[in-house]
Structure 1
Amino acid sequence: MKKTTEYLIVIVVLAVVIAIGAAIWAWSGLYNIGADDHHWKVTYNALQTVRDRSIHVRSKDIKIPSLDDPQLILKGAGQYAAMCTGCHLRPGMEDSELRKGMYPQPPDLSKVHVDPQDAFWVIKHGIKMSAMPAWGLDGSHDDQTIWSMVAFLEKLPGMTPEQYKAIVAKAPPDEDMDMDEDGGHSHSHGSEAAHQDQHEGSATPGMAMSASMSGMDMPGAAPSDLELKAGGSPQAEATAQAFQAALDNGNRDAALALLADNASISEGGSTQSRADYASHHLGEDIAFLKNAQVKRLSRVSAASGDRAQVVTESEIRPTSKGRPVTLRSHEMMQLQRTNGAWKIVSIDWSSKANPPSRDGSQ
């Protein structure tokens, strides 16, 4: 009995010493949490096993509905294009700027098949300490929407780029992207569809550069002397047009390539970093514009040295929950020239519903 007690005391003391040592080690900051410092292989395999078993144990009793409904698959295609390609890629897409820096690397879902039960659980609940969000949190995406994504994932592996583009083009509008109280879309802006007729508007003579640009440290002429006018800075306007064309065509990489590393994007009353925009709202903007008709009303610009501003006014006609809406969109871009190339350092988007006419039409 005495020996048993001694053994227990030794075990308790060792446990306390180990706990104190672990606490000191954790507090010391010696562990490198950086994503570019990868786990040891044994650590990675252990964590992967814990993750996979945790998902499977919780998903194994989920009842799988019929996933062959063409409309369900189409809806899932639109959801995937809007929210998932930045991390999980699409057919013909080798990598993305966002995905390159992620650890562990998200699976390329255009090449691997995922168990439907596991896929549903992961999409709904997310994964801790990773970039995988819980899309079902607080009812942001209901089960039917999540199953639509699972249905699409069943068809995605082996799909050609042409087949992917065709099915996404047929996808219904994303009803999760609602209009705000004024009828404006929280992610809409002045993007211009490349295939649509363009209508150039002229700037009011003598329009002064906005205060946001006049605060820049610009060499050369005083900012207050600059005037925004059509063709004021052709190269900066071309960059703005290229960015908008990239959104229209669903080309995430081309759009991100035109944003400076420190770019900020303001829309819907919030400001995001380049990384935040890439991970969420960029996909929503692409999906929104895919189901909208856009007509440019005017574009004006001005530049001094390596700084420029481009302002675009557009009319956007999306369909929200089956009803057409006409929006007046205002886009203001600030650009900086580095090594001869213009990059966008900030974008400010706002939109407002045009008042209905007396006959009730927009």
Structure 2
Amino acid sequence: MFRRIKIFFFLVLLLLLGGILGALWFLPGVFSAKATPPEWEVKAARYIRHLATPSHFLKMSNPLHLTPEVLGDARHHFADHCATCHANDGSGKTAMGPNFYPPVPDLRDPVIQDMTDGELFYVIHHGIRFTGMPAWGKGDPSEDTESWKLVFFIRHLPNITPEEIAEMKTLNPMTQEERDEQAALDRFLSGEDIAPSPSHDHHH
């Protein structure tokens, strides 16, 4: 019975949002990704996401045990796959993060941290339609240990250290130009590319 009520409200919200979007279709700038989502839209999207998450996921706790190795794996995975949009510290302050609609959220925010382990896992594994959040999970959710490790890392973000951030910077994806610049800098710092001092001819 309760599930039917949830489905009913979910459908009503979808109809309301559909009607509002239809009415706004011809207004200038409505579909610009540069716009800031109004508060009602943010709250409605969160509520719909919550309703759309299967109840058994809402109640799930992380099945993995938190160890330094598990957190390290998650940190490396986050730096390589997630930080381009979310930033190493989870702030979302990257070249792309603020330019999505809606903008990439700050993962340290209490709204995110208050989500259950299962909710976080569901978002990571399945992604979110009509946003920039892809589905990272592959295969059966019960075998997706990488996403569960990332849940631990998201919980850790409010307390991440400068040392961890520095390590993650070495793991972030780079363009070929950035790799060449880094290689040149490494050669310079190791003394390989120190240019010889110009010779001075003395004429008497």
What is the deviation of 1:156? 2.2
Residue equivalent to 1:154: 155
Matches within 5 A, 1:210-289: 240=177, 243-244=178-179
Unaligned residue ranges in structure 2 (runs of 5+) = 1-18, 184-204
TM-score (normalizing by structure 1): 0.36
Q: Distance in 2 between matches of 1:127 and 1:139?
A: 18
**Is 1:143 matched up with 2:141?**
no
Change (3 A) 1:103 1:28: closer
Matched position secondary structure for 2:147: helix
Matches within 5 A, 1:201-212: none
Q: Match of 2:118? A: 117
Q: Secondary structure at the match of 2:128?
A: coil
Q: Which has the higher contact order (CA 8 A, sep 6+)?
A: 2
Q: Gapped runs of 5+ residues in structure 1?
A: 1-21, 172-186, 192-239, 249-362
Structure 1 consecutive aligned stretches of length 4 or more whose deviation exceeds 6 Å: none
Number of residue pairs matched by the alignment: 158
Q: Percent identity?
A: 22
**CA–CA distance in 2 between the matches of 1:28 and 1:105?**
20
TM-score (norm 2): 0.60
Deviation readout 1:316-340 (Å, 9 max, x if unpaired): xxxxxxxxxxxxxxxxxxxxxxxxx
How many Å separate the matches in 2 of 1:128 and 1:76?
Answer: 24
Equivalent-residue separation in structure 1 for 2:100 and 2:64 (angstroms):
33
Task: After TM superposition, give the deviation of residue 110 of structure 1 in Å.
Answer: 4.8
Structure having the larger proportion of residues in helix: 2
Question: 1:95 is matched by which residue type in structure 2?
Answer: K
Q: Does the residue aligned with 1:49 lie in a helix, a strand or coil?
A: helix
- Does structure 1 conserve the Cα–Cα contact (< 8 Å) formed by 2:124 and 2:147? yes
Task: Return the alpha-carbon distance in structure 2 between the equivalents of residues 98 and 137 of structure 1.
Answer: 25
CA distance in 2, matches of 1:245, 1:121: 38
What whole-Å deviation, never above 9, does each CA across 1:186-238 have from its counterpart, x for those lacking one?
A: x999x5xxxxxxxxxxxxxxxxxxxxxxxxxxxxxxxxxxxxxxxxxxxxxxx
Identify if the C-alpha distance between structure 1 residues 41 and 93 changes in structure 2 by more than 3 Å, giving closer, same or farther: closer
RMSD: 3.8
Larger radius of gyration: 1
For 1:53, the equivalent position in structure 2 comes to 51
More strand by share: 1
Give the whole-Å Cα distance in 1 for the aligned partners of 2:90 and 2:61.
Answer: 33
Report the Cα distance in structure 1 between the residues aligned to 2:58 and 2:90, rounded to whole angstroms. 32
Cα deviations across residues 116-150 of structure 1 (Å, max 9, x unaligned)?
2211111001111111111114579x511111212
Q: What is aligned with 2:94?
A: 96
Take 1:42 and 1:125, find their aligned partners in 2: how far apart are those partners?
24
